[in-house]
Structure 1
């Protein structure tokens, strides 16, 4: 039987809690939250499953060795202490990603170079041949993390960041990262329990991620490849078994998922991406201006969107955000509306009091995810009705 080993799932600031929950639901063991990461244990099959399924992970690393080093000689010696032929052949390629938070080492490029020398020298001494570097399609991606004098060596199981789901070929201006979109949806409590609307849908990322959550479709089922597929211990049969078992757990969705956008080009891109994800049966997209719209469905509506803010597009902020508040208040009764913005001042102009505010980062921009609860009738009436029951 495959042995369990430790893994680390990297994520965005603010998503640690939901990533830990995802891992627990998936069956991970010894789940522990850190900063922008969650560690856990599982076997090789679980490593495949985690890469396929996790919506809020950016990367999954498999730690293989750690040691202390406070100079380049100790670093070289420590990396030489790993038997690299277990993971790599002399005719294969590799690349090193280094992250450094240390007074002893201040350049990640230098660290990468030193580690590369140690690996190459080990092969040359043992075989007379050496593996080469390939930064684009390496056979093995090695992750080196140095904090103070502690060096952690890990294998990157994912390859390209897991936000690259494989369905998005067309993007709009400033598209939202797929992992960020999925995390926002999960933070908003979206599980497919009502109608869903993104009234500024851009290239359709929220719509696609919302449908995948609602139908329990694995986040990375459309992805072309993972780094572990080039590993020496790659087990294609096990991988296919896990894909089949995950696909058997998908479910039907009995509400509507709808998006609209003012720009015809955005609507076309959204339709392309939704088609790539095989989700046309669940999502409809049309051209339309949120500020001229009104709620089209009976019952509760779950709304999530990413309005433009001044880092990205040239709009008149005060009027734009006031329009958001007015449209919600006047045209969307019975709606839980969530949106993310990097313009913290603009929130004042919405004119509604948010019931929740969550600090997130969109790239390097500090942002807020806010929730507005729009009641049927006035809020006072709602509470009076509840009290009289």
Structure 2
């Protein structure tokens, strides 16, 4: 007991030397609580606030009546099991509708015309599962039932393993994380569909392997993806494509709130050229365009894709800015600016998006109208 008191006595004496003598006397006489005494920082000691790592916490919203229903998606959970710790069922339904008409300009002797956009469609209808296994591996699988039999497919089946601290490997059938919009899951996106240029140049889901590493506020990723495209399990064909991705996350304090900025640079190189079946995700060769009835002789071919931009989050406000370049036998450029603001947190989100795309080549931009702007599903 005496030994314990001695161990506590030396820090107490050192502390008293840094505190005003009157405060110490008041504390001994019981006039003040020890918690009321302010201890100054030691001379030359660094300020904790300056060196402390800031963590941006996602905004939380009031609970929903459906939370109990969503919780039932977890069908198994046992942290003591060394093989499988958690299993959950996932489902996603995306129903879209379009109303109105589009005025299509004529080209040459082809007159102007109106295109009827009225219609509804099931854009996505997915059922899948997520599994946490071996305490370091996340397994995910999705099957898409939407559309006709050509659109129904295994959307993804992949595993992500943390094989050492801050280092991961992802393998299976999945889409490359290229660009901001294409990296966001559809169920997390604030918009009915991705922007036109993103849908035009984004690579398809295919077999691949990707290494990821995190160092402080930097994230690095290097991946290889097959040039084959298959609704179920693609093969390993051609030289494929290589993805290099850099990200930096910066968290800063402004007043009493924190802000987060995530900068990214993504570069994807297609080694297969015209032999690639996964880039782009569609084939419009031999079809005719709605504006001018021109025959599309060849499918767009891109060798190099670049995306760079920033994502900002501060309280209720968020902003996405992304600049994309696609170069090959033709070239296309585009810019997306997308702000959003929670007017009523968890209930009403005001969103907007501006998208601009340009190409110097005749017929260099391809898109669809109506319930989807994705040529891969039209």
Give the structure with the higher percent strand.
2
TM-score bracket, shorter-length normalisation: under 0.3
Q: Relative contact order (C-alpha < 8 Å, sep 6+): which is higher?
A: 1
TM-score of the pair, normalised by structure 2: 0.23
TM-score of the pair, normalised by structure 1: 0.23
Larger radius of gyration: 2
Give the structure with the higher percent helix.
1
